[in-house]
Amino acid sequence: MAEGASAVAQSGESLLFLTDEQLRKGIEAMFFAYRGFTADPDRILQDHAYGRAHHRAIHFIHRAPGTTVNNLLAILGVTKQSLNRVLRCLIEDGLVESRVGNRDKRERHLYLTARGDALEQQLSDAQRERMRAAYRAAGPEAVAGFRQVLEAMMDPDMRRHFTRLADGGV
């Protein structure tokens, strides 16, 4: 094994035996990072009297135009009642359009309107800017490791949704 690879293997091995204090620091870093990650969109959403549930719905409808309400329920992991409240608001405000399915008239397919696209762009731009700066500061190896850690933390069902979306699927 090359000297550099040996050092990486040893540092990787030491990470397998994290102390409770190191884990606590990681948990707290995740909490504070999440606050930072959501701070800019929260300010934008506040101007529209929306919350994070609206943001998540807008994000995933944008990522998968035409997604069904049932698919969105599975991705978001919320109750039908909760999602219906959010969707009703977004539809009434002209940000989301609900269309009846061609094959199954019981299905509702969701699309962002031009206004919905504009809000999604504003929200995503703020988060992309923060992510881009953090990724640049951390470097490519840290970025790859960070993604591995996040994927390892996902429940298997959520990892499947994530992988499907990452691959361009619905």
Q: Domains along the chain?
A: 22-166 (1.10.10.10)
Confidence of residue 165 (pLDDT cuts 50, 70, 90): confident
113: burial class by Cβ within 10 Å (0-12, 13-18, 19+)? middle
Task: Read off the pLDDT band of 145 (50, 70, 90).
Answer: very high
Q: Contact 91/75 with Cβ under 8 angstroms?
A: no
Q: How far is CA 63 from CA 59, 103, 104, 111, in A?
A: 6, 22, 22, 10
Secondary structure element (H or E) that encloses residue 96, with its range: strand 96-100
For the chain, give the mean pLDDT: 89
Question: 85: which DSSP letter?
Answer: H
Residue with the larger pLDDT of the pair 168 and 126 = 126
Which pLDDT does position 15 carry in this prediction?
60
What pLDDT shows up at residue 104?
A: 80
If you average pLDDT over residues 159-169, what whole number do you get?
Answer: 80
Q: Kindly indicate the confidence band of residue 12, based on its pLDDT and cuts at 50, 70 and 90.
A: low
Mean pLDDT of 100-108: 83
Q: What is the pLDDT of residue 108?
A: 92
Region 120-135: what's the mean pLDDT? 96
Mean pLDDT within 79-88 = 95
pLDDT at 157: 85
| pTM for the structure as a whole | 0.82
What pLDDT, on a 0 to 100 scale, did the predictor assign at position 169?
A: 66
